[in-house]
Amino acid sequence: METTLCILGRQPALGLAELESLFGASAVTPVTPSAAFVAADINAQTFNRLGGTIKTARVIGELDGHNWPTLESFAKKHLAKLLNLPDSGKLQLGISAYDLPVSAAKIQSLGLTLKKILRTGDRTVRLIPNQAPALSTAQIIHNHLSGRNGCEIVFYAAGDKTIIAQTTNEQNINSYTLRDRERPKRDSRVGMLPPKLAQILVNLATGPIANSNTIVLDPFCGTGVVLQEALLMGFSAYGTDLEPRMINYTQANLAWLDQTFHTEVVNTHLAIGDATSYQWDHPFTAVATESYLGQPLTTLPAPDKLQTIVHGCNLIISKFLRNIAAQCPSGTRLCVAVPAWQIGPDKFKSLPLIDQISDLGYNRIRFEHSGASDLLYYRENQLVARQLLVLSKI
């Protein structure tokens, strides 16, 4: 079985948990704080559902140390035999080095040498110029370096070794931008859930046994971002929301999704309902949702005001969890994004219900490679973070 190098996104603990959820803990081996090996061949369809992995690469070599002349010598002698390359046509070639003591000029020099080595009678080679040691995502996508007629060679420093790999997939930033900003209905008042985070929620909720019969329920569906990503993964989607306007927004956004990405919105059911009391009358197999996050904050409120906000969120989310627990078969998996308030640098105040989760009818799913306290999605100066609870109905 091939080993795949996965380069993780801005908050790598979420990416690790997502990989573990899909492939199992034994298949995932962290190699740096921002990368992991996965003992699997991750094809394009699987990669496109990953929100926490920005690049995958097929591992083709591993050398001791970070000495560039040694790495350069290995590349000149062996890469022609180890790379997956087209037999003919025009090859787009790029090289990226991560966390290695090497300049863009030296990488470019190696590229020119490899260009000559890889050029054959039926294959021409175009080298993508390096402005920095690592090519940008835009360069990789624009030049199709992860496609059939492209090749990006990756040198990645991992501890006292250097991993050499060939890129197989790169996150399509254009598709994410389209799904995030071009939907016809958006509402900053109810929060702007990033599609990447929605993917992670769905993957943590569905786990390794997801298939075409999976039905993802979002009880706080808002403008439909979670349902959108579930449909793009090939799942059926079931959404409810307290506000009729949000259901109308979701309907419009999913109709746009079908026209743009040719999804099957016929596999979607939407209804108006209060998640704290609603009786879901359609089947579902997993729950992925961003729950009530409380009022938006631009400054940290006084302790008594913050405590009032926390209490209000805790009450609503506890009612929701009790309500849906009574309607879930044992073993049903949920991923619920709940609020956590940043009260200091990387210091967060969590909901009290987290310490009482078994009383609400759930076991908390633990991950071997990511601690429960690490499953936070936030930006450095963001006051309200999203804390991901991955649960299993008792």
The structure's pTM equals: 0.96
127's tokens: 């080298």
Q: Are the C-beta atoms of residues 286 and 209 closer than 8 Å to each other?
A: no
Q: Sign of the CA dihedral 29, 22, 168, 32?
A: negative
- Assigned superfamily of 183-393: Vaccinia Virus protein VP39 (3.40.50.150)
pLDDT category, 191, cuts 50, 70, 90?
low
Domain boundaries, the chain: 4-47+52-170, 183-393
- Give the other-Cβ count within 10 Å of 299's Cβ: 6
pLDDT in tens, 278-332: 999 999 999 999 999 998 888 999 999 999 999 999 999 999 999 999 999 999 9
pLDDT category, 264, cuts 50, 70, 90?
confident
Q: In angstroms, what CA-CA distances link 200 with 170, 293, 317? A: 17, 18, 20
pLDDT in tens, 219-238: 999 999 999 999 999 999 99
Q: Are the C-beta atoms of residues 240 and 221 closer than 8 Å to each other?
A: yes
State in words which class domain 4-47+52-170 has.
alpha beta
Q: Say if residue 88's pLDDT is above 70.
A: yes
DSSP 269-332: EEEE--TTT----S--SEEEEE----S--SSPPPHHHHHHHHHHHHHHHHHHHHHHHTTSPTT-
Q: Are the C-beta atoms of residues 101 and 67 closer than 8 Å to each other?
A: no
Q: Say if residue 202's pLDDT is above 90.
A: yes
Would you mind telling me the total number of residues written for the chain in this entry?
Answer: 394
